Amino acid sequence: MPESIALYLKSLELDLEARFQNMTVFPLFNENGSGTKYLSLDEALELRLIKVTEVSESGDVPNLLVANKGEIPILILAGEELVGAKQNRLVNATFLVPGLSNLTVPVSCVEQGRWGYRGKEFKSERRMSSPNLRSKVEEDVSYSLNAQEGFRANQSRVWDEISAKSARLAVHSKTLAMGAIYESYDDQLKNYLENFPRSVGQTGFLASINERLAGMELFDTAENLGKYFDKLIQSYALDAIDLMRQKQHKSSQATGIKAESWLAKLKNAPVITTPSLGLGQDLRVDGEGIIGSGLLYDESLVYLSIFARVEGNEQGMSGSRMARASQRGIFNR
């Protein structure tokens, strides 16, 4: 197994950035073979080749049952939202569900005020949790894996983040649902999306918000990026809008030099791999100023997401419990 992520990023190239409001996006290009053939969660739901339900009639908050009814694997990304059943959830880690199989998937609740059925099966509203929330879940899951406790997140921390963002963005929901935030800012999110078109051959992107590098999303092929591009861009845009509402708006002036430096630091970050619950190996990146995860399959990097965080608060995978939530953030100069 690799000691750093550099093995999979040898050909990574950064293109000229696009800017809108307080957000900058740098297209990424990376040669990584022919890629893995899979269906996205949204594709599988549209084709009725996946069934996502509570694990039992009574349900279990931190777990859902995923049934792949087709022969092609299905990729579910960390942070994707599943809507319905007894309460909405987000997926704690990235899983490649084998064909014709059932898989119990660790999740976190993103709708604190509901525990009652709205249909038996989950659906997708094509939403991802924002990088700010995803980074916190990444930290907690990495800690849990290190403690041999599985792909578990801190549920209270997830609720706290959604509650705080809802308050800052003046969004009111009877069930404290994360989805209500997206619905309230749908038009603004679409404005961001329209200003960041996907380039031919692009396999990922690096995003900056308020002049600070926020995170990176990378897939094995341009086709596979296309399956998730819109929902990922809008997830970063939600954090950008959040900062604008806090009157912390800055015209994004992130430069290619700064982005290149950030990527160079990423390539040297240590990684730890463990068997995934589905196909492949779960990959964890935990280094100075960064936290992230990905999935390896057949010695190929299927997906990688990396987030920046405040310097000086990192504990590392072999360190003690992470700093308190009030002392952490995702943005790193």
Per-residue pLDDT tens over the stretch 284-325 = 998 888 999 999 999 899 999 999 874 433 443 333 333 333
Tell me the pLDDT of the chain averaged across its residues.
89
Asked if the structure places residue 81 within a domain, the reply is no
* CA angle, residues 31, 317, 291, in degrees to nearest 5: 45
Mean pLDDT (whole number) for 223-238: 97
Residue 126 CB neighbour total at 10 angstroms: 17
Give residue 251's pLDDT band: very low, low, confident or very high (50, 70, 90).
low
Q: Which domain holds residue 246?
A: 5-35+130-327
In sequence order, what DSSP letters do the residues of 180-245 get, joined into one string?
A: HHHHHTHHHHHHHHHTSPPPTT--EEEEEETTEEEEEEEESSHHHHHHHHHHHHHHHHHHHHHHHH
* Token pair in block for residue 154: 């801190």
Per-residue pLDDT tens over the stretch 109-158 = 999 999 999 999 999 999 999 999 999 999 999 999 999 999 999 999 99
Asked if the structure places residue 85 within a domain, the reply is no
Asked if the structure places residue 69 within a domain, the reply is no
The total domain count for the chain is 1
Mean pLDDT (whole number) for 216-227: 97
Asked if the structure places residue 53 within a domain, the reply is no
Residue from 236, 217, 227, 235 nearest 293 by CA: 217
Which DSSP state fits 276?
Answer: -
With a cut of 50, say whether residue 212 has pLDDT above it.
Answer: yes
